[in-house]
Amino acid sequence: MTLTPYGGITVMLPAALVITGWLWMTRSRRSALLWIATLFVVYSLVVASKILFKGWGVALESLGIYVLSGHAMNTCLVLTVGLSLLARQLHSALRWPAALLGLAVGWAFSVYCVAPYIHPLPEAIAGALLGSLGACVFLFGLENIRPGRIPSAAVVAGLLFIAISTTTTKYTAESILDRISVKISGADKAFKQPEWRVLPQTMD
C-alpha cells in the first residue's frame, strides 16, 4: 500500500488546523496568525499553479513542471513545523533538529512516494521546495515570538485528531479545481496532462 495519499489534504489539512489550535493555545496569537498567513501563501501558490494549467494550459515545459505538487508541499510544510513544535515541548534546543528531521522525511516522501505515483519528479521537487521554504520562514519568524508551551491535553487531543484523519477516505481537490478553472477561463473543459508529462503510475 502506498503512503502517497497521506500527504493529501484529507490528512495534512486537519494536521495544519491542529497546529493552528496548538499555537493559539500557547497564548500567542501572533504565532497563530503567522502560521495562518504561511498556509494562505503556500496553498494559494499551489492552487494558482493548478488553475493556470487547468484553465489556460500554462506550464513550465522547459522544467517539466505544469503544477506544484500539493502532496509534497503539504508534507514538507506541515510535518516540519509539527515536529518542531512537538520538540519544543521537550526542550527548546530540540526544535531545529526536529525541523531538520521533518524536512528530511518530507523530501524522502516527495521523491519516493509522490514522484513515482501522482507527479513527475520536477513537480514533486517544486512542491517540496515551496513547503520547505514556507516551513523555514515560519519557524524563523517564530524565533522572534517565542510562544509558550502547548497544554498537554491539547497535544494529545491534536495527535488523536490527526490519527483519526489518517483512517478516513482520502480525497483530493482536483475535481473542484477543474470546475473552478473552467468557470474562470471559459474553456470547454480543464486542460489535462501535456504530452511531455509522463507518469509511471497514476492514482486518478
Give a yes or no: residue 164 inside a domain.
Answer: yes
Phi and psi based region of residue 69 (left: phi greater than 0; alpha: psi -120 to 50; beta: remaining): beta
CA dist 94 to 7, 84, 97, 171, Å?
24, 7, 5, 34
Which residue range forms the structural domain that includes residue 101?
A: 4-176
Write the burial class of residue 187 (CB in 10 Å: 0-12 exposed, 13-18 middle, 19+ buried): middle
Give a yes or no: residue 196 inside a domain.
Answer: no
Is the confidence at residue 200, as pLDDT, over 60?
Answer: no
Give a yes or no: residue 35 inside a domain.
Answer: yes
Give a yes or no: residue 111 inside a domain.
Answer: yes
Residue 185: alpha-carbon gap to chain centroid: 26
Average pLDDT (22-26) is: 95
Give a yes or no: residue 13 inside a domain.
Answer: yes
- Give tens-digit pLDDT for 87-140: 999 999 999 999 999 999 999 999 999 998 889 999 999 999 999 999 999 999
Q: What is the pTM of this model?
A: 0.90
Give a yes or no: residue 188 inside a domain.
Answer: no
Give a yes or no: residue 108 inside a domain.
Answer: yes
Give a yes or no: residue 34 inside a domain.
Answer: yes
Q: How many domains does the chain have?
A: 1
Tell me the HSE value of 90 on the side-chain side, using a 13 A CA sphere. 10
